[in-house]
Structure 1
Amino acid sequence: MAVTTLAAPRSAGRRIGRPVLVAAVLLAWVVLWIPVHGMHTLGLSPADLTPLHRWLNDVNDTVGANRDSSPVFLYFFNEIRAAIDALVTFLQDLIAQPSYGRPVPVLGWLGVVALVAYVSWVFGNWRVALLAAGGFVLLGLQGLWTESMDTLALTLAAVAISLLVGIPLGVWAGLSDRFHRLITPALDFMQTMPTFVYLAPLTLLFLIGPASATIATLIYAMPPAIRLTAHGIRSVHPSAVEATESLGATGRQKLFKVLLPLSKRTIVLGVNQTIMAALSMVTIAALIDAPGLGKSVVKALQTLDVGTAFNAGLAIVVLAIVLDRVTTAAGDRVRRTGPSSRLRRPLVALLGILAAACCYMSYTYVWAAEFPDTYRIGGAISRGADTVTVWAQDHLFAVTDAVKNLVTYALLNPLQALLTESPWWLVAAVAVLLAALIGGVRAAVVTAACLALLIGTGLWQDAMTTLAMTIVATLLVMLLGIVLGVWMGRNRHVDRIVRPVLDAGQTMPAFVYLVPFVALFAATRFTAIVAAVVFAAPVAIKIVADGVRGIPATTVEAATAAGSSTWQLITKVQLPMARRSLTLAANQGLIYVLSMVVVGGLVGAGALGYDVVAGFSQSQLYGKGLAAGAAIVLLGIMLDRIARASSPSNTRKGH
């Protein structure tokens, strides 16, 4: 008993001491900055190239010169590019573009709508079929039928390849612990790495066009298929496997008769998440000449055409909603058991004949192939978005300018000065110390390695500028996450109202809301921060809300019965008990913010994002852009490991 009594205060002291030590390190940093700022900052002028950048430029030039003569390209990379191009072109010719000299595609709008509605009914229900048909008709009414079908063709090609490769790998990971341990870090890297970063290497190997866009999309979309397939197989109850083995089933029989059927629902969820991830890459892939709606959004961003960007972005959201509901309904049908209705088989045949007739008409008649111009509403949608933007510029400028100046001068500028004007060794020492205090020795080692590699990229100044913007954006994300997340977690009605808005924020391509933000705030660092907050806040808010809602009702009732006020209940009970969710929200907020760095480079953020974008457009800066992409990955790894190591579960393990 005496040992227990003495140990408790010591443990409590350690918990109290950590924030004090962190504050002391930060205070010492600020004090040291005053006499030493501007010294040893590793600054380079924008035109300077390091030996690493020049070497990467030489690699790019060598690859370009030997592309048509090297056996590696002739018989490997070029063949892969040709095969993927052929697949995308086939799908485009089928639903979007003219084929065999015809003025219309093989399947016109009526055939596509009928086929989509039929498939939605077969795998879902009549409500999903009506939603799918209505959604695809809306695409035509927006005047974006061809662009939408190009996007759908690219998405289907990427998803098909992702599932063709991802599901077998997921099965392997589900069956083999060794392979599961081996592939998990690779999947973490694929999901953590900002999507822009691997665009440059892909264009080096496969040139710009549908092949590179498809490969970039499947790199981002494949991890959910692998993870969820493996999770489904590993979640099968051991008793079912043991019963099969006791009957003498072979490994093949066990897989196809037990494991895959029992994990079918989870695998369908993986298909759903793969489709959503593929659609989220549509606009980004447009930067390397991907066909479809992404091109419309990028062009609108370049001309600040808010209406066109919103109309195209709405079409992407409609596609996402339809595909999400169809795959979700398919998962629900897989979950249901029991005999189907006697009328279902005749209805399947009858509606199949009707869909085939619509496909034939869309192939034969122009009115069923080309969506009519008479009822298009895309112009009205664009004009409405333009009107709202002009009104906001006229009436909200004072508010938006005040908010921009407050964040810029009170948060961003001081933090950026602290990071960029401090000697590199001081920043590195502070970062390693903070990592050790927050996350332990392992986090400190990872931080030291990442900082050393950052110095090696020759982009220390740009990396520190990006880090400053990332920290400010993450602070704003967590502020919104805590305020709205607690509100949603405590009030079901608020949750039902706010959650669809959060879903739209996650689904809408970042380029779409960049356009009105540029119109409101001009092309500045703050614009990039706002775009990152809009992109990252929904996931943080949802995680905090779920954490608050997961607190046992008996605990809340006991605190209320003890006389706690609402403020005391939130600050003394709900937030402390949801600490793990808060840590996860901060981790995910950091990663999502960092994934917007390159997008921010397009709207005045500069730093690493601009370096990556410049590497795409200027061949002499290709090496610098590639190094900037590596620097973004290093920042992501460093921040991610510190945030993960600071979680309550890891902290307890450390003690």
Structure 2
Amino acid sequence: MLALSRHITRGRLFWLGLFALTWALSTYSFQLYKLLDARWVIRFPSALQLNLDTEISNFLDWLVNEAHFGLFSFRDLTRAIAWMIELPYQFLRNLLIEGFQTGIGDGAVQIAPSLSWIAVIAIAVAIGHYARDWALALLVGVCFLYLAVFGQWDSAMITLASVLVAVPIGAVGGLALGILAYRMPWVETLLRPILDLMQTVPVFAYLVPILILFGFGPVAALVATVIYAMPPMIRVTIVALKTVPEELLEAGRMMGATPRQMTWKVLVPAATPTLMVGVNQVIMLTLNMVIIASMIGAGGLGFDVLASLRRLDIGAGIEAGLAIVVMAIALDRASQAFSERRMSHPRTGSVVQRHPWTTTVLAIVVVTYLLGQIIPAIQNYPDALKISTGAFWSDAMAWINVNFFDTLETIKTVLLTTLLLPVKKFFAGIPWFWGILAMGLIVGRVAGWKLGLAAALMMLFIAASGLWGEAMVTLYLCGVSVFIAILIGTPLGIWAAQKPGAGRVILGLMDTLQTLPSFVYLIPVVMLFRVGDFSAMIAVVLYALAPAVRYAAHGIREVPPQLLEAGRMAGCTPSQLLWRVKLPLATPQLLLGLNQTIMLALSMLVITALVGTRDLGQEVYIALTKANAGQGIVAGLSVAVIAIIADRIVHALADKQKRRLGL
């Protein structure tokens, strides 16, 4: 007991000493620079800086303009990939919205119209009923009807075409790589750091090289979307295949199944419910990407939101954002239903009896096609019946600004002066050499000296790239945003877990926040608080709040009932039960929520560069506007470094807590 007390005391002394020394160096770094007459105290020596951005840009330029592989060049390869992606994409655009044409330009003649809005809704209803029941069919149908009624149909169909191309490529590609990683452990070892980078490097960072390789347009946007959405499918596939019961595998071997038969007749069918969770993630990430991809020519609802943000049209932006949310709800619920669906016995009888929904949908398509030639309202939803809520949202925002301006300004001023600016001053003053050493000590103390050394080297990479100041601003904004998100989210999660009625409302609100596109948060925030760090912080908190709430609720619910009963028998009050039993046992889940909150905060910080932050996200965004691939990739890798270090620290803390609790 005495040894444990000494260990705790030494631990506290270590953290207090480290913080005190960091604070002192941060506060007096400028005086230290003056005393030593050494500029290197403030800025990494320019003679030792890496020119990695220039090397990357030169390499990409060589790759696009000079690289040859025997019979074809690299440009030929990218054009072939673009052609293969563009064929199904253009077909779906023609089918859903543009119709089929022959000829070019003014001489083009339409040979067949697109599917009518009634036919598309009928297909959506049929899919919902096939996946589960009439309740889901009604929900999906109402979601698609919403798109027509509120005037978002054309843009929504362009977005749907992108989703219908990107999701199969991402899902099939992720499945194939996941199976390969399961079969060959060295592939999994190789993929793990690549997946870490793909999930932590900001999307803007690889938009630039994709723009250079594939040009401006929807194909480049689809390539970026697939890269963004594929990693979860790979990870889910590996986990799903590893959790297939050994008895099934043994039964397959005893029946003489070949490796191919084992994969497609045993492993994949047994893992299908979990694999569908991966497909669901691909769908949601694809929809989250549509706005960002619109910056390089994706079009659709994403372009509408981005255009509204640029002209600060709050009504149009929220309308388009809500359309993405509605589409996300429909696709999310349908994919979840498919993951839970059980195989049914084939029906007997005629074709109509065996496939009632298929024949019904085909009949609706044919009838609406024929009637649409006579009655335009059947082919296209009538403009006279469309409803717009844009004026309502704009007026609501104006009313808030007029009536609560002083209150909002007071809140903003208080938080800026008491929290944001002091924390920013602290991080901005940390000398690069001490920041590297301190990060190594922190990670070494928590996760071991090997990871500590790796963390120090990664921070050295940021300093040597000339991005130390921007990285410290990123740490400050991320740290403050995550702190506030956890401060709000954890109590909400606990409340949701302990009060089922409140839980349904809170978790429903979190569902909405998670499906709202990231850009949508910026529009009302900028309208209320204008540009700057405070607006960025509010947007990040809103975007990153959901995992803090969800993991807190999940952790409290998962506490074993027998331990709660033991606490009650020991005479614990509800408050003591929460603080002494539930929260300690839920700590691993709370830490996982913290980890996800940090990841979402870092991804959102890159997007908040649009509202005037001066961090790594701004560097990535500037690189995108200048098509400077090297600058974008180096700044993106610096964000990934921060994300990876945070991930390792939080995972190490969670593992320690699990061992302490004997879990």
TM-score (norm 2): 0.90
Secondary structure, aligned partner of 1:596? helix
5 Å matches for 1:154-303?
Answer: 154-303=162-311
5 Å matches for 1:332-343?
Answer: 332-334=340-342, 339=345
Kept after mapping to 2: 8 A contact 1:477/1:540 = yes
Moved over 6 A (4+): 67-70, 340-345
In the alignment, residue 246 of structure 1 is paired with which amino acid? M
Structure 1 stretch displaced more, 173-182 or 414-423:
173-182
Instruction: Establish whether residue 393 from structure 1 lines up as the match of residue 398 from structure 2.
Output: no
In the alignment, residue 80 of structure 1 is paired with which amino acid? I
Secondary structure, aligned partner of 2:155? helix
Structure 1 stretch displaced more, 452-461 or 290-299:
452-461
Cα 1:52–1:113 shift into 2, 3 Å: same
In the alignment, residue 646 of structure 2 is paired with which amino acid? L
Partner Cα separation in structure 1 for residue 503 and residue 112 of structure 2: 46
Equivalent residue for 2:654, pick from 628, 635, 647: 647
- Report what 2:360 is aligned to: 354
Instruction: Establish whether residue 481 from structure 1 lines up as the match of residue 482 from structure 2.
Output: no
5 Å matches for 1:29-48?
Answer: 29-37=22-30, 39=33, 40=40, 42-43=42-43
Secondary structure, aligned partner of 1:281? helix
Kept after mapping to 1: 8 A contact 2:443/2:451 = yes
Instruction: Establish whether residue 405 from structure 1 lines up as the match of residue 413 from structure 2.
Output: yes
Structure 1 stretch displaced more, 287-296 or 173-182:
173-182
Cα 1:520–1:370 shift into 2, 3 Å: same
1:417-465 superposed Cα distances (whole Å, 9 cap, x missing partner): 2222232112222222222223321331121111111012211111111
Kept after mapping to 2: 8 A contact 1:37/1:423 = no
Cα 1:574–1:145 shift into 2, 3 Å: same
Kept after mapping to 2: 8 A contact 1:22/1:437 = no
Kept after mapping to 1: 8 A contact 2:124/2:137 = yes
Instruction: Establish whether residue 367 from structure 1 lines up as the match of residue 377 from structure 2.
Output: yes
1:243-270 superposed Cα distances (whole Å, 9 cap, x missing partner): 2322333223333332222222222222
Secondary structure, aligned partner of 1:458? coil
Secondary structure, aligned partner of 2:473? helix
Partner Cα separation in structure 2 for residue 346 and residue 82 of structure 1: 38
Query: 1:651 deviation in Å?
Result: 8.2
Structure 1 stretch displaced more, 622-631 or 490-499:
622-631
Partner Cα separation in structure 2 for residue 306 and residue 347 of structure 1: 50
Partner Cα separation in structure 2 for residue 240 and residue 138 of structure 1: 45
5 Å matches for 1:505-520?
Answer: 505-520=513-528
- Report what 2:386 is aligned to: 376
1:263-305 superposed Cα distances (whole Å, 9 cap, x missing partner): 2222222222211121111111111111210000001111111
1:121-179 superposed Cα distances (whole Å, 9 cap, x missing partner): 22332222222222111101111111001001111111111123222222233344443
Equivalent residue for 2:335, pick from 327, 330, 342: 327
- Report what 1:580 is aligned to: 588
1:186-212 superposed Cα distances (whole Å, 9 cap, x missing partner): 323322322222111211211221122
- Report what 1:4 is aligned to: none
In the alignment, residue 642 of structure 2 is paired with which amino acid? L
In the alignment, residue 316 of structure 2 is paired with which amino acid? T
Partner Cα separation in structure 1 for residue 245 and residue 302 of structure 2: 44
1:539-579 superposed Cα distances (whole Å, 9 cap, x missing partner): 11101111111112333333344443444333222222211
TM-score (norm 1): 0.91
Instruction: Establish whether residue 634 from structure 1 lines up as the match of residue 641 from structure 2.
Output: yes
Partner Cα separation in structure 1 for residue 414 and residue 119 of structure 2: 54
Partner Cα separation in structure 2 for residue 571 and residue 16 of structure 1: 23
Secondary structure, aligned partner of 1:107? coil
Structure 1 stretch displaced more, 198-207 or 569-578:
569-578
Kept after mapping to 1: 8 A contact 2:26/2:427 = no
Secondary structure, aligned partner of 2:381? coil
Gaps in structure 1 of 5+ consecutive residues = 1-7
In the alignment, residue 377 of structure 2 is paired with which amino acid? W
- Report what 1:624 is aligned to: 631
- Report what 2:572 is aligned to: 564
- Report what 1:5 is aligned to: none
Equivalent residue for 1:128, pick from 136, 155, 166: 136
Partner Cα separation in structure 1 for residue 494 and residue 68 of structure 2: 59
In the alignment, residue 188 of structure 1 is paired with which amino acid? D
- Report what 1:97 is aligned to: 98
1:30-83 superposed Cα distances (whole Å, 9 cap, x missing partner): 123343336345559xxxx98444445555655666599994333211211222
- Report what 2:36 is aligned to: none
Kept after mapping to 2: 8 A contact 1:125/1:329 = no
Cα 1:67–1:252 shift into 2, 3 Å: closer
Partner Cα separation in structure 2 for residue 482 and residue 415 of structure 1: 22
Partner Cα separation in structure 1 for residue 96 and residue 202 of structure 2: 31
- Report what 1:84 is aligned to: 85
Kept after mapping to 2: 8 A contact 1:104/1:369 = no
Kept after mapping to 2: 8 A contact 1:97/1:104 = no
Query: 1:399 deviation in Å?
Result: 3.0
Partner Cα separation in structure 1 for residue 559 and residue 403 of structure 2: 43
Partner Cα separation in structure 2 for residue 570 and residue 543 of structure 1: 16
